[in-house]
Structure 1
Amino acid sequence: MPLTDHTPVYQNVQSEHLRAWFAETLSHYPELLDRPIYLRKISMRYSTMRAQPVINWRFFRRKYRHYRVDFSNHLEVTAHVKVRELPRDVVVGWFAHELGHIVDYLDRPWRGMIAFGLGYALWSRYMREAERRADSIAVDHGFGSEIIATKHYLMEHATLPRHYKKRLKKYYLSADEIEALITAYEERGEMPDIVDI
């Protein structure tokens, strides 16, 4: 059951089930419920899904900053995996991961966001730690089984390009690591520290 009636803003998203799944996932992130959050379908060359702040005058004030989750159906990976055709738990896991990124952005000042963007683009270790952090935040918000479903689906999808699966293994937590994270969370009632920054 959703925690609030907060409604995201949709741009070029015609699918009613994608809209409903995104709103449902967002409702479990109470720290985001006072923020405008957009779900936008666009053509992206290098990403299937990504989360970013909206760059406008509000970007410079954390309190007023808007955020956006973009997804694409127009690139090499989505020639094999259409977001709109994926099972619910896979899509929800993907949304939960992206919203985990946005939670990670909340306390960063604008200079910190720029430094984060540069670090993510330039250093693979920084990117890996950011992706692991987003996964752990999603698990902390109750989406462990959905994150695992997403990872299993992508790793076991026979037609996905090999380089894409290699990237998943390099930068993201594995299903086994997520299982361990869930177990630790259940046993201790708190998230273990799994990242270095």
Structure 2
Amino acid sequence: DVTLRGCKRRGGAVMTMDAMPAPAKPSLRMPYLRWGLLALIQLALIALPLVDRLDVQTSGTVVHLKLVPVDPRDLLRGDYVIINLEIGRISRDLPGGEDVRTGDTVYVGLKRTGDQAAEPVLLAKTREEAGDLAISGTVRSVVSNRLRIDYGINAFFLPEGEGKAIEKLDVNRVLLEVSIARDGRSLPVRLLVDGKAFRSDAAF
């Protein structure tokens, strides 16, 4: 018998190692695929907040909320209005308020009367307990008998130069129109002055 070294048999033929096909080289397209995947991930991260805003804007219930002054001077800081909602300070005497602690996520049940600003009527720790219309927020502090609640609505941006028109207005003339989704998420839609739209902040 003859021993074949450095050979492989394929079918009925003997093929030397020199004649075997070379290992496949990595595809030159792999770096492009990686960059393409990274680009898609970045686009998704940008799109997700917009999708969330669109969902709240199109499916939410529109309510009007009162503002209170940030300080005795004005509402304006540069080209955006500081949003200081009246419902950001709520009495702990409101139904459900006695069990609330700093750091809790809460749902503030709201009541609307005609075109007037919505008023808080109860506090709950679950959406189901908060009634038909409720806005979600986080309790930032409990001072004396007052709860300070952050709803994630902190500013309303204006085109450059338009702030002067609202800077000197009495805050009692200004309302914030807010869209509130069924699950309590919210976003600002319009600033109203004397009941009329002053500027829209809608996403679409």
Compute the TM-score of the two structures, normalised by the length of structure 2: 0.25
Compute the TM-score of the two structures, normalised by the length of structure 1: 0.25
Larger Rg: 2
Kindly indicate which of the two structures has a greater share of residues assigned to helix: 1
Kindly indicate which of the two structures has a greater share of residues assigned to strand: 2
